[in-house]
């Protein structure tokens, strides 16, 4: 058994890390983690960012 790549897990939710959002599984978790840091010490107004809307409502695609 060779030492395989370390399977990193998202420190926020524990899901597998993705390249795009390392060291988190997604930008959402990255933001959450960042929010912990900021929210712990500072109180800044939260800018509510509209979620990216992907066109008209779609039927839920199968995930996983
Ligand atoms: Zn996560």
pLDDT tens per residue, range 34-60: 887 776 655 556 667 767 767 776 666
Q: State the distance from the centre of ligand 1 to the C-alpha of 13, rounded, in angstroms.
A: 4
Q: For ligand 1, a single-atom ion, which residues have Cβ within 5 Å?
A: 10, 12-13, 15, 25, 29
**Which spans in the chain are helix H?**
27-41
pTM of the model: 0.48
pLDDT given for residue 2 in this prediction:
59
Q: State the distance from the centre of ligand 1 to the C-alpha of 39, rounded, in angstroms.
A: 18
Q: Where are the domains of the chain?
A: 9-41
Q: How far apart (Å, rounded) are the C-alpha atoms in residues 23 and 57?
A: 31
- Return the half-sphere exposure (C-beta side, CA atoms, 13 A cut-off) of residue 37: 6
Beta carbons of 9 and 17 less than 8 angstroms apart: yes
Q: What percent of the chain has pLDDT over 90?
A: 34
Q: How far apart (Å, rounded) are the C-alpha atoms in residues 60 and 64?
A: 12
């Amino acid at each position: 058994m060779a030492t395989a790549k370390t399977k990193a897990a998202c420190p926020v939710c524990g899901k597998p890390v993705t390249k795009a959002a390392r060291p988190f599984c997604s930008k959402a978790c990255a933001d959450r983690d960042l929010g912990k840091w900021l929210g712990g010490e500072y109180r800044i107004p939260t800018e509510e960012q509209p979620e990216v809307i992907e066109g008209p409502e779609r039927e839920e695609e199968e995930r996983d």
